Amino acid sequence: MEEMIFVDKPSGMTSFGAVARVRRILSEREGHKVKVGHTGTLDPFATGLLILLAGKATKKAPELTKLDKVYEATIRFGETSTTGDPEGEITISGTAPSRAEIEAIIPQFTGKIQQTPPAFSAIKVNGQRAYKLARAGKAVDIPSRTVEIYSLEILSYDTPELKIRTHVSSGTYIRTFAEDIGKALGCGAYCSELRRTQIADYKIEELPLFNLPE
């Protein structure tokens, strides 16, 4: 068996949870345990495209994880979150900026930039997932990395929420992007909504999506 599976992950489900459900369904269909893996996770609060690989196709995972992504996100200004998303502890941190202020600073966040992945992420630190260490109250030291923001489009700004569409390199964290732009504007920010709409040339609206039961 060799299969590429496209999933529209709902909010509230982990990527590993999606993998487990697809594995169970395929294993029941095939009559034996089927190996299933992902090609890059999505945060639990996020929705959108996950590409899963089943059977012999799992060997292709390393090449697929390096593909560019397109996201649509909502950034909420004037508040911060301990996790960079709606699942953390929210604190009022400032006054939302004007659209002109946002547009003036955006060029600093396009092209190749340095970014430090969040502590609450699936990155492995000394063999353990960073988010597990962070939840346990342990210090998480993740080195910064170079990522690339190929394009950044403002879809709307209804104060204090900015909706954007961005095309980014693999390894880019939109949560971190939201926090960094909030810091640069001096008001704080976090990513309140996130949807992945495309991975390389795979567009979610054009794909045969796997029915993922709750």
**CA 164, 170, 173, 178 torsion: positive or negative?**
negative
What pLDDT score was predicted for residue 95?
Answer: 96
What pLDDT score was predicted for residue 119?
Answer: 60
> 190 and 88, same structural domain?
yes
> 91 and 154, same structural domain?
yes
Domain holding 88, by residue range, is 69-199
- The pLDDT of 185-208, averaged and rounded, is 97
DSSP characters over 111-172: EEEEE---SSSS-EETTEEHHHHHHTT-------EEEEEEEEEEEEEETTEEEEEEEE-TT-
Catalytic site residues? 43
Here the CATH number for the domain that contains residue 111 is: 3.30.2350.10
> 54 and 84, same structural domain?
no
Q: What is the pLDDT of residues 86-143, one digit of tens each?
A: 999 999 999 999 999 999 999 999 999 999 877 655 566 555 655 555 565 555 666 7
- The pLDDT of 46-69, averaged and rounded, is 92
What pLDDT score was predicted for residue 140?
Answer: 62
Asked if residue 212 belongs to a domain, the reply is no
Asked if residue 213 belongs to a domain, the reply is no
- What is d(CA 109, CA 66) in angstroms, rounded to the nearest whole number? 21
What pLDDT score was predicted for residue 132?
Answer: 59
Here the CATH number for the domain that contains residue 39 is: 3.30.70
Asked if residue 211 belongs to a domain, the reply is no
> 86 and 55, same structural domain?
no
> 105 and 49, same structural domain?
no
Asked if residue 24 belongs to a domain, the reply is yes
pLDDT at residue 213 above 80? no
- What is d(CA 23, CA 148) in angstroms, rounded to the nearest whole number? 33
What pLDDT score was predicted for residue 120?
Answer: 59
The segment with the largest mean pLDDT, out of 43-52, 110-119, 131-140, 204-213, is 43-52
Partnered with residue 66 across adjacent β-strands are none
> 142 and 61, same structural domain?
no
- Considering the entire predicted model, what is its pTM? 0.90
Task: Give the confidence band of 30 by pLDDT, cuts at 50, 70, 90.
Answer: confident
Asked if residue 214 belongs to a domain, the reply is no
> 57 and 114, same structural domain?
no
- Higher local confidence (pLDDT), 155 or 140: 155
User: Domain total for the chain?
Assistant: 2
> 100 and 20, same structural domain?
no
